[in-house]
Amino acid sequence: MADSREQAQGDPDYHYWAFISYSQHDARFAQRLHAWLERYRIPRSLVGQRSGSLTIPPRLFPIFRDRDELPSSSDLPTTLDTALRQSRALIVICSPQAAISRWVNKEVLAFKASGRGDRIFPIILDGEPGAGPNTPGCFPPALRFVVDDEGRTTTTSAEPAAADVRDGKDGWPNACLKLVAGILGVRFDALRQREVARAKRRRLLALTSATAAAVIAAATYVVLADSGLNIPGGNSLRTVIDHQGWTIFRPVPSEQLLAGRLDQLRGKLRKYLYESIQSNKVRTGIAPRSSLSAWEVAQVAAAVYSDRDAPSQDVASLQAILAHLFSHDLVVKSGEPLGWHEDPPLSRAEAPLYLVIALSRSLARHDPASAATEPTYRSYLETTQKVLDRYYVPGVGAWKMSDQEAGEPWFTYTSALALEALLEMRANGACWHGSCEQRDEMIRNTSNWLVKSFLNRSELPGWEPGSSDLATGADPDLSAFIYSVLARAAVEAGIKLPRDIEASGWRQLADMANRPYKPAYRTLNHFAEYTNSQGVQVGQTLTVRTFWYPWSIKATHYWIRYVDRVGLPLEYKIALERTRGHLVLDLSDEMLDDVARSLPFAAAEIEYALNGAY
């Protein structure tokens, strides 16, 4: 117990999780609250996670409550003063008696004087927060008003939010859970979920115990199916359970839980990218002995500029890098931009496509650093679009990986990335060479080409890498990427998806609920034939990695919105939510371990996709 407590508190100065301050009139309630808090078991899904500076423990033990009759001295007794200093939080039981208790008031004053006023958590037992002529108050003065630097109560109101056990308010269990959530620094919903699940189980058990033997047998069969056991008719029965929203043993994580975890992941990836920039791991071509990678710079910029929580230092750190990219490394011939110095002998479309994403996102930001670069970045965007004109085939709607290839070497990955870039432009108010109509036409044409390229095969429907490459069948990781961008096009730009893509997209994403993280990526090969500078026809194999994990999370986000938009049955949405929960909650730690051993472009692509996943 002592070991787990020390680890949880993370600070040897804190011996207690909380100090309960109360009037002797409320001693019985204080005893009940003290026992509940020390016996409450934290949900296993939270135990061991970090919350600020502490590691969440299995239980909040110990909590200080025991207080003998106080002496008449005007000072806090030494025992209480020591306990206050050694307590991480202060719980104040608020009642009319507590409001006039000098000892409760002194304990609040002492705790605020220690600089921890934000760690005070009131719980209302009786009375009203706002005292009036005919209304008994419940907050002591030190809680109701601001305390100045000299420890004196002012007249400035500072009534805090409080848990409330009274009838018609939070009630006993919810009020206690609010205290636990405040002490641990976690969302109330993260604790409430388990209680809701327990309530559901209790209702189900009460129902089954009151029915006849045949009904009990049927309910048992339903429970077995919902548990995921391989029983006859189990899949069909689970579909019915999901359609009705009855699932108990295959829970769907809450939006709050997923959003919190995604915020954590984005924060870790953001930190990794910023440190990579500062330590010259990103190949900018600026730092000594640093080679240029326009593709990697573009991906990092796309990740940073699409991150709404990116600090100004991250945003500002990219300005010099992009300036170097466009002023020193851009290849211009006869006044026309062709690409970047890293590309020979073949230029590639991926770098300018990610630059379009990054610049479109930057132009839509409202922070001072982005506002200062707006005119320059608009010229960068125009230049990048001129480069990309060489890769797009207007009559077809497809995109080439290299602009120097002969024939019709349309590449599916490049076309999907181009659609993602065009959708970013649309979402952020950027147009193509100043024409929003041309941008929207390119979205329609590229979407239609991807739809026509879909292989509706019974074994594994999806997409092959390229039209000119040796046919190897649909690639599942590439298909996850394309399902993501097509669902986004359907939701944001009104692109109509055929029924076969609807069915296969949902099914393949639903099946990912049991997929392991590794292999983390798949390498796509594309053989490019072109004429070199000596006029000789030669060939070169170009490769690109597809990271299935981040794009699958983004795909579930847009497919859930698509299911709502077109009115597909509830079980479609639940299956997608279950997959998203598996990817975000079950596989994310392994992803972070993998990123720590990877180059910055991997973290950049993952963060960019996660930035648009909720």
Neighbours of 168 (CB within 10 A): 6
Whole-model pTM? Answer: 0.64
Per-residue CA distances from 392 to 215, 349, 412, 414, 489 (Å): 63, 10, 12, 10, 18
- Specify the CATH architecture of the domain 255-611: Alpha/alpha barrel (1.50)
Residue 555: closest CA among 598, 518, 508: 508
CA–CA separation, 605 and 354 (whole Å)? 10
Handedness of CA 240, 237, 552, 484 (dihedral sign): negative
Q: What was the pLDDT predicted at 208? A: 67
CB 40 within 8 A of CB 26: no
Distance of CA 183 to the CA centre of its chain: 23
Sequence-separated (6 or more) residues with CB below 8 Å from residue 43: 190, 191, 193, 194
For residue 543, the SS3 value is strand
Token pair 């080409």 is found at 449
Torsion of CA 29, 35, 38, 44, to 10 degrees: -100
For residue 362, the SS3 value is helix
Fold of the CATH domain 2-190: Rossmann fold (3.40.50)
- Identical fold at 2-190 and 255-611? no
Sequence-separated (6 or more) residues with CB below 8 Å from residue 560: 573, 576, 577, 580
Kindly state the tokens that stand for 92: 């104040």
Q: What was the pLDDT predicted at 4? A: 40
| Below-50 pLDDT ranges, the chain | 1-10, 68-73, 468-469
Q: What was the pLDDT predicted at 221? A: 62
CB 86 within 8 A of CB 15: yes
Q: Where exactly are the structural domains of the chain? A: 2-190, 191-244, 255-611
Kindly state the tokens that stand for 24: 């002797």
Residue 440: closest CA among 500, 477, 494: 494
CA–CA separation, 569 and 574 (whole Å)? 9
Q: What was the pLDDT predicted at 371? A: 83
